[in-house]
Each structure stands twice: as structure tokens, then as C-alpha cells.
């Protein structure tokens, strides 16, 4: 069953978008008592929120099963201590079909919340305070989003889901005021996560629709003329891409699920060359205060099983730490880690659990390795963005 779920999660099967009625009943849980709640400040412009503003809560995007039209949005309110499910449907009760099919990424920029819905071929732009839809941006097979100097940048596979003959992918530029696509540039096949840094966009190409003919490069896009200037050779089937405080890129390779394992690579953005290779599997990671928090759910078709690990890496020294962000006694509670985020003020670690991929998941909050609280989420909880 898990093998089939992996294929669904990677998007290698065809889909048919459904329009079943969505249950919009709001589910409220109370995992913690708020401390020092603050009054929210009005934020009507589209400039990035200052990092020293108090964190008021976070949105969690649940992917939902492919072809089931079950993507959903939850919200954790640090001011009230309440965790609310299905907030998109609550805020937009007249929208047929709810959020859509397969939520794939999420981010807040200024006063707007951007939700990338892969199989529904759209980006939902919402008011970050109310969750009310401001606009739907239609774009085929969209994947990940990042922001830079008043623009949003979106990676898209293009073509049909699972098509081994799909064309090269694309990065689209979206003006965050007009919410119009202003520029497009072709990159490699099936581009995944992307980073904006020093007037460039770096995007990890996977080629995941046509194994064993994977892509193995990071496309470099010059933002001035919006052209791909070069490709950095790394490894096959790239996926995650993060940047540290020194300007180094951390990119993961998923390997081929047979003989070539998942690995982690560090790229110097000054030379645009690989400077370090770590022989560890990494499924997802986030970097906070010069520490990379990572987990792996590496799957092998040879063994038919997953290898689940949790690790920490000091990005200043590029060395692994002996400590773990989850104490040993709590790890068995998490059946299938699927997303990770760090509270920017308290350093609490949030881990999502997709469990069996077909029933509601869980969200765990850890503080100094100890379990602080957990809540039930929608199906396949994956992506978190903090709200100030």
C-alpha cells in the first residue's frame, strides 16, 4: 500500500479532478494555552513582513489524495491556542469543489497567502488574515513558490501529470500587486523547489516523469533579463532546495529508488559548483539559526520499505550534530513524517505525519526534543507557513 502511496505522492499517475461536495464543517482543537497574545497589526501593503514582528500563527496545507479533490487548509492561532481545520472552505463557502486537488506548496508575502494546487493547475491567492480568495491564477502542473522583491516565482512541470514525454518545465514570475504572470522562462524537466538569491533564481530539476532518464541539474536564472544562464551539474532526481545564511544552497537528490541512494549536496553560489556531498538520505529539510533540521523517509524498491531518520547539521561548519530534535521515545509515534517547520521565535519543531496517506494525519510540536502537543490534520499534511 505504501508503495502505491509513494507513486501517488510523486505524481506519476494520471488524475481526474472531481467536484464532490466538500465538508466545510470547521474542526477546532485546543492543543495549548496562548501566552502573551498580541493585537494583530494591519498590513495592507505587499511588502514582506519584518522578521521581528510577533508570530501570530501558521497555516498548514494538506495535500489530500490525488484525484480525490481533498486538499485543505488548517490554521493554528497562537493568540487563542486553537487549531482550526478546513479554514479555506469556511472562508469561501460558495466556491464549488473546495481548495482543489493536491496542495503542493504555500507561502505568505505581505498581506497575501499563496496556495499552490498542483493537479488543479492553479494558485489560490487569499487574504492572509481572513482566508478569503482574492484571485485564482491558472497555470498547468504548478509545484513550488518563492518570493523576491515584490514578485512571486513559481516552478511548474507543464504538460500532463505522469507524462514521460512531457516538455521542459518553466519558472513563472507573478507580480504580487496585479497578481498577473509577467514573465516566463524554460528550465529543465519537472522542476521542483526554487530559491531566490542575489538577483538570481535557482531551481532544482528532477526529470521525475521519465525514470531512469532523470534530470541532474539546477537551472540558474538571471532576474534582470529572465533567462536561464547555466545549469549546475549535481545528481539525478533533485527535489528540495534551501539556502543558508552564508549563501550556500542545500539540495537533495532522491536517487533512483534502486541502486542510487538519496544524498544531500552543498553548492557555493559564488562559484556555482558543488562544494560538499553528504551520503545521507534527506526527504525534507529546513534551515533555522544556522542549523539544518532534516528527516528522511527514503524508499527502496529493492527492500520495499522506508528508512526513516532524523538528523541535524550545523551549516556554519557543515558537520552533523549528535543531538536530535525528537527524543527517541517519541519517534515511533510518527508513522510517516511528511513536512517540517521551525517556529522562528520559540525554536519549536513542527513535524507532520501523513500516516497511511488515506486518513487524516497528525501534526506534532516538539520543544527541546520533548512532545509538547499534537493535533489531527487533514489528509497528508505537508506545508507550513508562519503568519505575523
CATH of the domain at 29: 2.130.10.10
The pLDDT of 52-70, averaged and rounded, is: 91
Residues facing 286 on adjacent strands: 293
Query: Would you say residue 156 has pLDDT above 90?
Result: yes
Q: CA distances (Å), 69 to each of 117, 125, 165, 271, 299, in order?
A: 10, 18, 26, 44, 26
Query: Would you say residue 150 has pLDDT above 60?
Result: yes
Average pLDDT, the chain: 90
Residue 41 lies in domain:
2-387
- What is the structure's pLDDT at 177? 97
Query: Would you say residue 45 has pLDDT above 50?
Result: no
Query: Would you say residue 27 has pLDDT above 90?
Result: no
pLDDT, tens digit (0-9, with 9 covering 90-100), for 244-268: 999 999 999 999 999 999 999 999 9
The pLDDT of 69-84, averaged and rounded, is: 96
Q: pLDDT: is 67 or 316 the higher one?
A: 316
Q: pLDDT: is 105 or 13 the higher one?
A: 105
- What is the structure's pLDDT at 323? 87
Query: Would you say residue 279 has pLDDT above 60?
Result: yes
Q: Under 8 Å CB-to-CB from 235, ≥6 apart: which residues?
A: 216, 253, 255, 263, 265
Q: CA distances (Å), 291 to each of 26, 182, 193, 296, 323, in order?
A: 36, 35, 19, 16, 11
Residue 351, helix vs strand vs coil: strand
On the 0-12 / 13-18 / 19+ scale of CB atoms within 10 A, 303 is exposed
Residues facing 298 on adjacent strands: 307
The pLDDT of 201-230, averaged and rounded, is: 97
Three-state secondary structure string covering 107-175: EEECCEEEEEECCCCEEEEEECCCCCEEEEEECCCEEEEEEECCEEEEEECCCCCCCCCCCCCEEEEEE
Residues facing 147 on adjacent strands: 152
Yes or no: say if 274 and 234 are a contact pair by the CB < 8 Å rule.
Answer: yes
31 band by pLDDT with thresholds 50, 70 and 90: confident
25 band by pLDDT with thresholds 50, 70 and 90: low
- What is the structure's pLDDT at 128? 98
Lowest mean pLDDT among 22-26, 81-85, 252-256, 296-300: 22-26
- What is the structure's pLDDT at 67? 86
Q: CA distances (Å), 64 to each of 8, 99, 100, 120, 158, in order?
A: 10, 10, 9, 12, 21
Look at residues 335, 362, 364 and name the one whose alpha carbon lies nearest to residue 349.
364
Query: Would you say residue 17 has pLDDT above 60?
Result: no
- What is the structure's pLDDT at 113? 98
Domain count, the chain: 1
pLDDT, tens digit (0-9, with 9 covering 90-100), for 159-208: 899 999 999 999 999 999 999 999 999 999 999 999 999 999 999 999 99
Stated pTM of the model:
0.89
The pLDDT of 97-111, averaged and rounded, is: 96
Query: Would you say residue 4 has pLDDT above 50?
Result: no
The pLDDT of 321-332, averaged and rounded, is: 93
Residue 63 has phi, psi (to 5 degrees) of -60, -50
- What is the structure's pLDDT at 97? 82
Yes or no: say if 221 and 204 are a contact pair by the CB < 8 Å rule.
Answer: no
Q: What percent of the chain has pLDDT over 70?
A: 88
- What is the structure's pLDDT at 118? 97
Amino acid at each position: 500500500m505504501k508503495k502505491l502511496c509513494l507513486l501517488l505522492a510523486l505524481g506519476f499517475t494520471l488524475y481526474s479532478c472531481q467536484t464532490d461536495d466538500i465538508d466545510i464543517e470547521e474542526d477546532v482543537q485546543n492543543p495549548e494555552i496562548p501566552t502573551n497574545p498580541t493585537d494583530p497589526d494591519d498590513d495592507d501593503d505587499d511588502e514582506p513582513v519584518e522578521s521581528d514582528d510577533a508570530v501570530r500563527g501558521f497555516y498548514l496545507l494538506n495535500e489530500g489524495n490525488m484525484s480525490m479533490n481533498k486538499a485543505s487548509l488548517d490554521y493554528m492561532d497562537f493568540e487563542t491556542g486553537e487549531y482550526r481545520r478546513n479554514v479555506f472552505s469556511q472562508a469561501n463557502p460558495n466556491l464549488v469543489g473546495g481548495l482543489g486537488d493536491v496542495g503542493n506548496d504555500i507561502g505568505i508575502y505581505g498581506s497575501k497567502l499563496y496556495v499552490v494546487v498542483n493537479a488543479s493547475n492553479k494558485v489560490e491567492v487569499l487574504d492572509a488574515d481572513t482566508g478569503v480568495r482574492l484571485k485564482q491564477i491558472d497555470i498547468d502542473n504548478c509545484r513550488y513558490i518563492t518570493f523576491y522583491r515584490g514578485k512571486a516565482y513559481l516552478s511548474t512541470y507543464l504538460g500532463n501529470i505522469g507524462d514521460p514525454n512531457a516538455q521542459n518545465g518553466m519558472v513563472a514570475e507573478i507580480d504580487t500587486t496585479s497578481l498577473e504572470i509577467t514573465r516566463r522562462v524554460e528550465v529543465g524537466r519537472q522542476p521542483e523547489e526554487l530559491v531566490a538569491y542575489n538577483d538570481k533564481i535557482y531551481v532544482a530539476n528532477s526529470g521525475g516523469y521519465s525514470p531512469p532518464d532523470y534530470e541532474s541539474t539546477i537551472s540558474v536564472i538571471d532576474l534582470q533579463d529572465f533567462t536561464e544562464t547555466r545549469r549546475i551539474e549535481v545528481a539525478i532526481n533533485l527535489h528540495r532546495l534551501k539556502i543558508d545564511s552564508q549563501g550556500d544552497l542545500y539540495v537533495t537528490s532522491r536517487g533512483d529508488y534502486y541502486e542510487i541512494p538519496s544524498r544531500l549536496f552543498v553548492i557555493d553560489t559564488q562559484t556555482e559548483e558543488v562544494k560538499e556531498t553528504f551520503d545521507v538520505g534527506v526527504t525534507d529539510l529546513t534551515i533555522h539559526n544556522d542549523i539544518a533540521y532534516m528527516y528522511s523517509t527514503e524508499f527502496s524498491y529493492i527492500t520495499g520499505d522506508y528508512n526513516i531518520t532524523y538528523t541535524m547539521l550545523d551549516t556554519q561548519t557543515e558537520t552533523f550534530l549528535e543531538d536530535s530534535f525528537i527524543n527517541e521515545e517519541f519517534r515511533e509515534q510518527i508513522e510517516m513524517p511528511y513536512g517540517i517547520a521551525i517556529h522562528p521565535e520559540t525554536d519549536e519543531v513542527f513535524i507532520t505525519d501523513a500516516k497511511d496517506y488515506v486518513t487524516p494525519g497528525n501534526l506534532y510540536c516538539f520543544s527541546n526534543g520533548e512532545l509538547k502537543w499534537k493535533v489531527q490534520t487533514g489528509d497528508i499534511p505537508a506545508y507550513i507557513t508562519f503568519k505575523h
